[in-house]
Structure 1
Amino acid sequence: MHYEGKIYRPWMEADSILIQTTLGCSNNQCTFCTMFDDKRFKVRELEDIFKDIAEARRLYPKVESIFLIDGNVMAMRTEKLIAILDQIKVTFPELKNLALYSGFNDFRRKSISELKEIRSAGLTTAYSGLESGDPIVLERIKKGMTREHAIKGMELAREADIKVLASFIFGLGGRERSKEHAINTTSLLNIMRPDAIAPMALAIQPGSELEQELHNGQFSLPSPLQILEEEKYLLENMDDFPCFYWGDHGNNIASMRGEWPAARQPFLEHINKHISLNPMTKKNVIETYAW
Structure 2
Amino acid sequence: MHYEGKIYRPWMEAESVLIQTTLGCSNNQCTFCTMFDDKRFKVREIDDIFKDIAEVRATYPKVESIFLIDGNVMAMRTEKLLAILDRIKMTFPELKHLALYSGFNDFRRKSISELKELRSAGLTTAYSGLESGDPIVLERIKKGMTREHAIQGMEMAREANIQVLASFIFGLGGRERSKEHAENTTSLLNIMHPDAIAPMALAIQPGSQLEREVANGEFVLPTPLQILHEEKYLLENMDDFPCFYWGDHGNNIATMRGVWPEARQPFLENINKHINHNPMAKKNVIETYAW
Per the shorter chain, which TM-score range? Answer: over 0.9
Match of 1:92 in 2: 92
- What amino acid does structure 2 have at the position aligned with 1:199? P
Match of 1:279 in 2: 279
Match of 2:31 in 1: 31
Match of 2:55 in 1: 55
1:232 Cα deviation after fit: 0.1
- Equivalences for residues 60-75 of structure 1 within 5 A: 60-75=60-75
Aligned residues between the structures: 291
1:221 Cα deviation after fit: 0.3
Match of 2:165 in 1: 165
1:210 Cα deviation after fit: 0.2
Query: For residues 60 and 187 of structure 1, what CA distance do their matches in structure 2 show?
Result: 44
Query: For residues 4 and 236 of structure 1, what CA distance do their matches in structure 2 show?
Result: 43
- Equivalences for residues 141-156 of structure 1 within 5 A: 141-156=141-156
Aligned-CA RMSD value: 0.2
Alignment of 1:130 onto 2:103: no
| 1:88 match: secondary structure | helix
State the TM-score, normalizing by the size of structure 2: 1.00
CA shift digits 1:63-115 (9 cap, x unpaired): 00000000000000000000000000000000000000000000000000000
Aligned structure 1 segments of 4 or more residues deviating by more than 6 angstroms: none
Match of 1:18 in 2: 18
CA shift digits 1:143-162 (9 cap, x unpaired): 00000000000000000000
Q: Percent identity?
A: 89
Match of 1:182 in 2: 182
1:216 Cα deviation after fit: 0.7
Query: For residues 210 and 50 of structure 1, what CA distance do their matches in structure 2 show?
Result: 38
| 1:68 match: secondary structure | strand
CA shift digits 1:105-147 (9 cap, x unpaired): 0000000000000000000000000000000000000000000
CA shift digits 1:182-205 (9 cap, x unpaired): 000000000000000000000000
Match of 1:268 in 2: 268
Query: For residues 104 and 153 of structure 2, what CA distance do their matches in structure 1 show?
Result: 5
Structure 1: stretches of 5+ with no match in the other structure: none
1:37 Cα deviation after fit: 0.0
Query: For residues 272 and 42 of structure 2, what CA distance do their matches in structure 1 show?
Result: 45
CA shift digits 1:247-280 (9 cap, x unpaired): 0000000000000000000000000000000000
- What amino acid does structure 2 have at the position aligned with 1:104? F
Query: For residues 286 and 83 of structure 2, what CA distance do their matches in structure 1 show?
Result: 45
| 2:250 match: secondary structure | coil
1:208 Cα deviation after fit: 0.1
| 1:227 match: secondary structure | helix
State the TM-score, normalizing by the size of structure 1: 1.00
Query: For residues 64 and 236 of structure 1, what CA distance do their matches in structure 2 show?
Result: 36
CA shift digits 1:12-53 (9 cap, x unpaired): 000000000000000000000000000000000100000000
Match of 1:234 in 2: 234
| 1:128 match: secondary structure | strand
Query: For residues 101 and 281 of structure 1, what CA distance do their matches in structure 2 show?
Result: 33
